[in-house]
Copies of this chain bind each other. A is one copy, B any other.
Amino acid sequence: MRVGEPPLPNGRGSICQPALYATGMEVPKAFEICPIGWVRSALKDRTGAPRQGWEGAPNAELEIDPAFVQGLDGVESGQDIWVLTWLHQSRRSVLQVHPRGEVQNPLTGVFATRSPDRPNPIGLHRAKVLRVDGSCRLQVEGLEAIDGTPIVDIKPVLDREL
């Protein structure tokens, strides 16, 4: 949650504060996620960004932290990949939105939408690798994430997912 956000609708102070369960389940925990790299893009702010990669998003660069470049071995130009990002400008207290930000669309739960505002703002972007530059830079086609967005994972798209 960002500073200055209102309390969560569920009355908790933090999105990651453990809930008590009536079902005898394990107590929820929080996990630490960290950037493996950053998006470099001509898109500089969220208001200018298309909602999906195929809606006119520009090509972009994925700059991978040198500490993780061994993990890129086998990623090649022409491949379709999933880029998972941390949508760092999102509001984590939001549970319902008007889809696509249009008020005539009825309020809908964020898990039924691709809104960037959601409890864990992980972005899921499908992109094609255009080129691998050096050991740390992937040029990709059509990515709607803004410049500076942390990248948290990259996975190949599997045939069965196409």
Chain A interface residues (CB < 8 Å from chain B)? 8-10, 12, 15-16, 19, 23, 25-26, 28-36, 38, 52, 54, 63, 65-68, 70-76, 79, 81-82, 84, 86, 88, 95-96, 107-114, 118-120, 122, 124, 126, 148, 150, 152-156, 158, 160-162
Contact = CB atoms under 8 A, between A and B. Distances in A.
5 contacts: A29-B34, A31-B33, A31-B86, A32-B32, A73-B96
A5 to B, nearest CB: 14
Copies in the complex: 2
Instruction: Indicate the member of A9, A81, A114, A161 with the most B CB atoms within 10 Å.
Output: A161
A15 to B, nearest CB: 6
A122 B52 contact: no
A70 B96 contact: yes
Nearest to A82: B124
